[in-house]
Structures are given as structure tokens and as C-alpha cells.
Amino acid sequence: MFQIVRKECLNPTVTRMDIAAPRIAAKAQPGQFVILRVDEKGERIPLTVADFDPAAGTVTVIFQIVGLTTEKLNRLQVGDSLQDFVGPLGRPTETEGLQKVAIVGGGVGCAIAYPVAKKLHLQGAEVHSIVGFRSRELVILEEEFRRVSDRFVLMSDDGTAGEKGLVTDALKALIESGEHYDRVIAIGPLIMMKFVCALTKTYEIPTTVSMNPIMIDGTGMCGGCRLTVGGETRFACVDGPDFDGHLVDFDEAMERGALYRPIERERHEHFCRLLQGGN
């Protein structure tokens, strides 16, 4: 069993947890993920490693409460344990040799982007972080990003945090001001990554994206996480989750990602009604 040693509410729908998992903490790298089960009857869900502390033997996950399993997970408290916590899975983000990088994060995707920015900073690279949220109340990890970024730009849709606008607006402004990046690493909603890649392609800047499709076993056996990259089928769990963003078929990924949302929403709402004594 994997005990929860710390829990923190980052915003109304996003929670951070530190899980005691010494063997995973000893091997985890930015960009990798774990698969967990809340209880023995629960479904398996992937969560990206948001941070890790080998000395303390803990792995940090940050998740958004969007469905039945994340609702159950969020109801656990410090001292409770998870049934399963497997990892690290997937390929680490490639950072070697990069001297100047723009990290672009959107929403809860910033939880994935932060450890990458941190690793690049520790390697001595110049890191420009651009993060975007819908509004101030949804901002997460602002101080953490500031500590590891040579330049930090906060954007919000409504202007209540940082500058009003999209992350692509900020990225374009930096590029046109003369900033030259070895690579752009974009992590967030599919639609955000699609438009970041459309922008960077016009400037011929190599761009990496982190894909988080439907995933079950995490070993490439089920095929649920398949993507089309460069016209060929790839599996996010074993070939990724990082891919060349200029080769990803985002439209197909968005269509597949929406398949089970109505069912998941119904299960989530039913679970909440049961807890509230509803019919």
C-alpha cells in the first residue's frame, strides 16, 4: 500500500498529493507517469509525475477532479493509502544539450511542465516559462515556476492574472522580439498544444508535446492510448508521452479523447449524488 503523506488543495478543482513510494522516487524522471488505483475495485488511471524526492522517498502527483476516480482520490486524506501505484512509466523528457527553451503550460498541464522546467534549470539551460489559465483562481505553481525560470510570463483568459490573452500570444511576442529557442516544450489541453505547434512550425522551432490520451495498462498492450504521429500509429504509454508536436494528428486525438466524456460525467454525477443522499 502507498500512503499519502501530504495533501494540498491548489485551486477549487486541482489537488496535489505526495505519495510514499521510495522505489519509484529513486528512478522517476520529468515527463514520466504512474498508474494508480484508489481501491481494489477501482479503475487504473495515469497521472504524470509532478515532482519526486528520492531522499524522502515520495512522488508528487497533481490531478484535476474531473471524473469518478479523481473524485474518489480527492476524498482520501493524509494517512490513507492507495491500492496500487505503479511506475515510473513512459520515456523521460529529453533535455540534454538544450541551452535555451520555452516551456509553455496550460491549466493543469503546468503540473507536467514544471518538473521539466526545473530539470532544465538545474542543467544550466536558460528557461522561459509561459503559463496560462482561465482566471486567477485557477493559477497553480506560480512561485515554483518563478524559481526555475529566467523569464516568466503569466497569462489568463480574463486578465485577472498576469497579462490578458493566450499563451500563443506571449510566445509569438517573445519570438518576434528576437528570442531564439532551441526547443519549445508545450504541455496542456490538446487544443492549446495544437495552436502552439502551428505557431512554432511557421518559425521552424522544434516543438515537443506531452500527450495524455485514454490509457489502461501502461505497457502498450491495450492500445487505448494510440495516436497518429507522422502518419504512423504510436502508443503514448511506451513510445511517449512526449512526441514531435509538428507530427501529431491533434484532430484525431481530440476526437478520441472525447469518446468517453459523457459516460464519465454520468458516473461522476451519480457517485456525488449517492454521497449526498440523492436518488
pLDDT mean over 10-16: 93
pLDDT attached to residue 1? 77
Give the pLDDT band of residue 256 (cuts 50, 70, 90): confident
Give the pLDDT band of residue 277 (cuts 50, 70, 90): low
**115 and 79 in one domain?**
no
Q: Compute the distance between CA of residue 186 and CA of residue 103 in angstroms, rounded to an integer.
A: 6
Strand segments, DSSP code E, in the chain are 2-11, 14-20, 33-37, 45-53, 58-64, 81-82, 84-89, 100-106, 126-133, 151-156, 163-164, 183-187, 207-210, 226-229, 232-235, 242-244
**219 and 192 in one domain?**
no
**Nearest-CA neighbor of 86 among 114, 45, 121?**
45
Tell me how many domains the chain contains. 3
**105 and 58 in one domain?**
no
**8 and 50 in one domain?**
yes
pLDDT attached to residue 224? 76
Comparison of pLDDT for 91 and 214, the residue scoring more = 91
Q: Is the pLDDT of residue 264 over 80?
A: no
**What are 266's three cell numbers?**
454520468
Comparison of pLDDT for 75 and 267, the residue scoring more = 75
pLDDT attached to residue 273? 58
**83 and 67 in one domain?**
yes
3-state DSSP call for residue 252?
Answer: helix
Q: Compute the distance between CA of residue 114 and CA of residue 132 in angstroms, rounded to an integer.
A: 13
pLDDT attached to residue 25? 96
Q: Which of 26, 57, 89 is the last residue of a domain?
A: 89
How many percent of the chain have pLDDT more than 90?
76
Backbone angles phi, psi at 47, to 5 degrees: -135, 130
**193 and 153 in one domain?**
yes
pLDDT mean over 14-35: 95
pLDDT attached to residue 213? 74
pLDDT attached to residue 63? 93
pLDDT attached to residue 267? 56
**232 and 166 in one domain?**
no
Q: Is the pLDDT of residue 278 over 70?
A: no
Supply the CATH number for residue 97's domain.
3.40.50.80
Query: pTM to 2 decimals?
Result: 0.87
Q: Compute the distance between CA of residue 227 and CA of residue 213 in angstroms, rounded to an integer.
A: 8
**264 and 192 in one domain?**
no
Q: Which of 84-88, 138-142, 275-279 has the lowest mean pLDDT?
A: 275-279
C-alpha distance from residue 80 to each of 7, 44, 72, 76 (Å): 11, 18, 12, 6
Supply the CATH number for residue 22's domain.
2.40.30.10
Q: Is the pLDDT of residue 42 over 60?
A: yes
Residue 83's region, left for phi above 0, alpha for psi from -120 to 50, else beta, is alpha
Structural domain boundaries enclosing 275: 211-279
**140 and 199 in one domain?**
yes
**224 and 196 in one domain?**
no
Q: Is the pLDDT of residue 90 over 60?
A: yes
**190 and 141 in one domain?**
yes
**What are 263's three cell numbers?**
459516460
**What are 84's three cell numbers?**
496500487
pLDDT mean over 121-148: 96
Backbone angles phi, psi at 23, to 5 degrees: -70, -35
Give the pLDDT band of residue 276 (cuts 50, 70, 90): low
Q: Is the pLDDT of residue 271 over 60?
A: no
Q: Which of 157, 187, 208 is the last residue of a domain?
A: 208
pLDDT mean over 247-266: 75
Strand partners, 163: 155
**168 and 62 in one domain?**
no
**pLDDT digits over 198-209, tens only?**
999 999 999 999
Q: Which of 89, 116, 150 is the last residue of a domain?
A: 89
Q: Which of 97-111, 176-190, 201-215 has the lowest mean pLDDT?
A: 201-215
